Structure 1
């Protein structure tokens, strides 16, 4: 009984189905299509927005990388400039120290020469005085201070 075909029931089922399709088409089809179209538009807009955001992000990333490269270049230039300045200061300091040491050496040499000349002069004077005293003892006479100075000067002149 269940597996038998009933033509009347079959006709009523077809009629009911067609009426349901017609009612759905008149009542629900347009709102369903509108919802689907709205959903499609939203998805398309979201994809476009995501694409624009990605492009903007890539552009911002490129800008940031360019700025970073520029900052690195500037930092390298600053470091190079600082190195150059430090080397210049070092070279100037070394040159100044060499000049000062050269001047100190020259001054010391001049002082040594002056002291040597003073010592030589003092030795000459002592030698002359000893010579005068020895001559005075040999002669057996005491010399006056003026005679004494004359003999010293003459002896120093002979030594020079």
Structure 2
């Protein structure tokens, strides 16, 4: 048999291939399959981990939304309370200003009445003083003349008799 014939070449190639395949199966196939399997497991673990992370992110997002909603509700409540407090303060201030204005008006009216009464009293005093001065001057003029005195006395007596 010739070593270089095509059949012998096929024969030896097949034998070498089978031996090579057996050696590969015994020494390389298990580690390669193990590596592929561990790679597959790590990919599956990574996918599971990613899914877990996605779910956790969804939960965190939902939790954040809930916290934001609670914060909005609390903010709205605080704003409402502040508005009510401001309106109450404004109403109280208006009421206080109204009361103080009414008190000031009452005090002013009282002061005006007192000033008016004082002015009226002073005016009466001045009018009476002036009237007495005028009467005194008139009486002096009338009583300086004896004839006028007699006539005045007669007039007064006539008035008394009539009354």
Question: TM-score normalised to the size of structure 2?
Answer: 0.78
1:69-88 alignment runs, 5 A limit: 69-88=69-88
Gaps of 5+ in 1: 142-160
How many Å separate the matches in 1 of 2:18 and 2:48? 41
How many Å separate the matches in 1 of 2:138 and 2:66? 106
* Alignment correspondent of 2:35: 35
* Alignment correspondent of 2:154: none
Per-residue deviation, residues 107-156 of structure 1 (Å, max 9, x unmatched): 11111111111111111121112222222222237xxxxxxxxxxxxxxx
Task: Tell me which of the two structures has the higher relative contact order, counting C-alpha pairs closer than 8 angstroms and 6 or more residues apart.
Answer: 1
How many Å separate the matches in 1 of 2:67 and 2:131? 94
Consecutive aligned runs of 4 or more in structure 1 exceeding 4 Å deviation: none
Bigger mean CA offset, 131-140 vs 63-72: 131-140
Count of aligned positions: 138
Per-residue deviation, residues 56-78 of structure 1 (Å, max 9, x unmatched): 12211211121122112211211
* Alignment correspondent of 2:161: none
